[in-house]
Structure 1
Amino acid sequence: MFTGIVQAVATLDAIEDRTGLRSFTIEFPAGFCEGLAIGASVAVDGVCLTVTRIASPTRACFDVMQQSLAITTLAGYGAGQPVNVERAARDGAEIGGHPLSGHIDCTARLAQRRVLENNLVWRIGMPASHMRYVFAKGYIAVNGASLTIAECDRAAGWFEVWLIPETRRATVFEDKREGDALNIEVERNTVVMVDTVREAVEQRLAPLRGAIDALLRDKGQSLDDFLAR
C-alpha cells in the first residue's frame, strides 16, 4: 500500500527490453534506498513495481510486465525520464493523502494547464469508462500523487485539480505539458460505492428495463447516461 505522498523525484537511468517485459534501472536521491531490499515495492509514477536487484546505494532495478506497459505511461518512457517515487507504507504509517494500491486503472491526458499566482490548475481529460468514479471534493491519484478533485464535468469528460507550490516542488508535475499522458488510480471506496449503487438500481429496474430504455431513447439518452450523473 502507498499513501499518495510523493517522497522524491527519481530518474530512469537505463532501460532494457527483454522477452515479455522491460527492465528499468532507476537512480534515486541519496538516502531513498536505505533499507531497500529485493522484493520491496516502490511506486513509480503511481505504478507499483518490485525491486529485482540493488545495483548501487542509489540505484535499483525493476521488471515491468507487458500488461503494465500496456495500461500505463511507462511504455513511452526513455532514459533520463524523471518520475515520482514512493516506497511502500509501513504498518502504522500516517496516511497523508489516501490509500493507494499502485494498480493503475487507466491513463488520461492533461487537457489544459492554467498558471495562477500561487497555484497550477490542471484540467484532465478522463476516459468515459472511469469518469463515473470522479466526484468534486473526492480523491484521485495522478502519477502516484494523492490529489483532491476541485471540479468535474462528467458529461464533458474532465476534472480539475489544483497543485500548490509544495506539490509542484516535490513532484514531476511542473514539467508536464498539455497533451501529456498521466497514470490514474481512482479511489477504491468510490469504485465500490458507485458500482454497488449501479448494480442495485439495474436489478430493481430490470422488469421495467424495456420501457425505460424506450423512454430515454426518445430523449436521446440511455440508462448508462442516467446512472452516470
Structure 2
Amino acid sequence: MFTGIVQGTAEIVSIEEKQLFRTHVVKLPEALLPGLALGASVAHNGCCLTVTAIDGDRVSFDLIKETLRITNLGDLQPGDIVNIERAAKFSDEIGGHLMSGHIMTTAEICKIIQSENNREVWFKIQDVTQMKYILHKGFIGIDGISLTVGDVTKSKFCVHLIPETLERTTLGAKKLGDRVNIEIDPHTQAIVDTVERVLAQREATAMQTLQETKPE
C-alpha cells in the first residue's frame, strides 16, 4: 500500500526491451535506499513495481505487458523522470489517502490554467466509464500523487496544484497532451458500485412486482 505522498523523483537510466516486456533501471535518491531489498514494492508514477536487482543506487524493475498497456510507464525513455514512493509501513503518517498502486486508466492533460500561486490542470480520462468514480472533492491518484478533485464534467475533471506539489513532483513539468496514470479511490469505487447494485435490485424487484400485479 501507498499514501500518495511522493517521496522523491528518480531518473530512468536504462531500459532493456523484450517481447511485450521491459526492464527499466532507475537512479533512486539516496534517502530512499536504506532497507531496500529484492522483492520490495516501489511506486513509479503511482504504479506498484517490484525490485528485481540492486546495484548501488541503480535499481531494476520489470514491467509486464499489462503494465505497459494500462499505464504511461511504457512511454518512458532513458532520461525521463518518475515520481517515487516506497511502500508504506504501519507506523507511517497517512498524509494523503491509501492507494494500492494499481492503475485503472490514464488521462491526458487538456487544459492548464496558471495563476500567481497555484495551477489548475484539467484531465480528459481515457476510459470514460471510470468517470462515475471521480467526484467533486473526492480523492484521486495522479501519477502517484494523492490529490483532491476539483470540478467534474462528463469526461473531464480538474485538480488545483500548490507550488509545493509542482516543485516536488513531475506535475510541475507536465504540459498539454502529456499522459498521466490514474488510480481511482477504492472506497469511492466500492460505494458507487454498491449503490448501483442496490438500485438495480430495487428496480428489478419493482418491475417484477408490476408484472405480477398487472391485470390479465
Give the TM-score normalised by structure 2. 0.93
In structure 2, the residue matched to 1:98 is: 97
Query: Deviation per CA, 1:117-154, whole angstroms, max 9, x where unpaired?
Result: 1001101112311000011111000000000012111x
Measured on the aligned residues, the alpha-carbon RMSD in Å equals: 1.3
In structure 2, the residue matched to 1:184 is: 182
Quote how far apart the aligned CAs of 1:31 are. 2.3
CA distance in 2, matches of 1:44, 1:81: 12
Query: Deviation per CA, 1:156-187, whole angstroms, max 9, x where unpaired?
Result: x1111011010011001111111111100000
Q: Which amino acid aligns with 1:158?
A: K
In structure 2, the residue matched to 1:36 is: 36
CA distance in 2, matches of 1:90, 1:190: 23
- Structure 1: which 5+ runs fail to align? 211-229
In structure 2, the residue matched to 1:172 is: 170
CA distance in 2, matches of 1:25, 1:142: 22
In structure 1, the residue matched to 2:157 is: 159
CA distance in 1, matches of 2:19, 2:37: 25
CA distance in 1, matches of 2:20, 2:136: 39
SS of the residue corresponding to residue 159 of structure 1 reads strand
SS of the residue corresponding to residue 31 of structure 2 reads coil
Query: Deviation per CA, 1:32-73, whole angstroms, max 9, x where unpaired?
Result: 2121100000000000000000021x1100001111110000
CA distance in 1, matches of 2:200, 2:110: 33
Quote how far apart the aligned CAs of 1:204 are. 1.1
In structure 2, the residue matched to 1:195 is: 193
SS of the residue corresponding to residue 167 of structure 2 reads helix
Q: Which amino acid aligns with 2:168?
A: A
- Structure 2: which 5+ runs fail to align? 209-216
Q: Which amino acid aligns with 1:59?
A: R
CA distance in 1, matches of 2:157, 2:144: 17
CA distance in 1, matches of 2:23, 2:156: 33
| Large movers: runs of 4+ above 4 Å | 207-210
Which stretch of structure 1 is more off in the superposition, 26-35 or 197-206?
26-35
SS of the residue corresponding to residue 48 of structure 1 reads strand
SS of the residue corresponding to residue 194 of structure 1 reads helix
Give the TM-score normalised by structure 1. 0.87
Quote how far apart the aligned CAs of 1:207 are. 5.2
In structure 2, the residue matched to 1:204 is: 202
User: Pairwise mapping of residues 1-229 of structure 1 onto structure 2 (< 5 A)?
Assistant: 1-56=1-56, 58-126=57-125, 127-153=127-153, 155=154, 157-206=155-204
Q: Which amino acid aligns with 1:177?
A: K
Q: 1:25 to 1:209 in 2, by over 3 A?
A: farther
Q: Which amino acid aligns with 1:87?
A: R
Aligned 8 A contact 1:33 1:59 in 2: no
Q: Which amino acid aligns with 1:109?
A: E
In structure 1, the residue matched to 2:213 is: none
Aligned pair count reads: 207
Aligned 8 A contact 1:17 1:23 in 2: yes
Aligned 8 A contact 1:44 1:144 in 2: yes
Q: 1:82 to 1:209 in 2, by over 3 A?
A: farther
Quote how far apart the aligned CAs of 1:20 are. 4.0
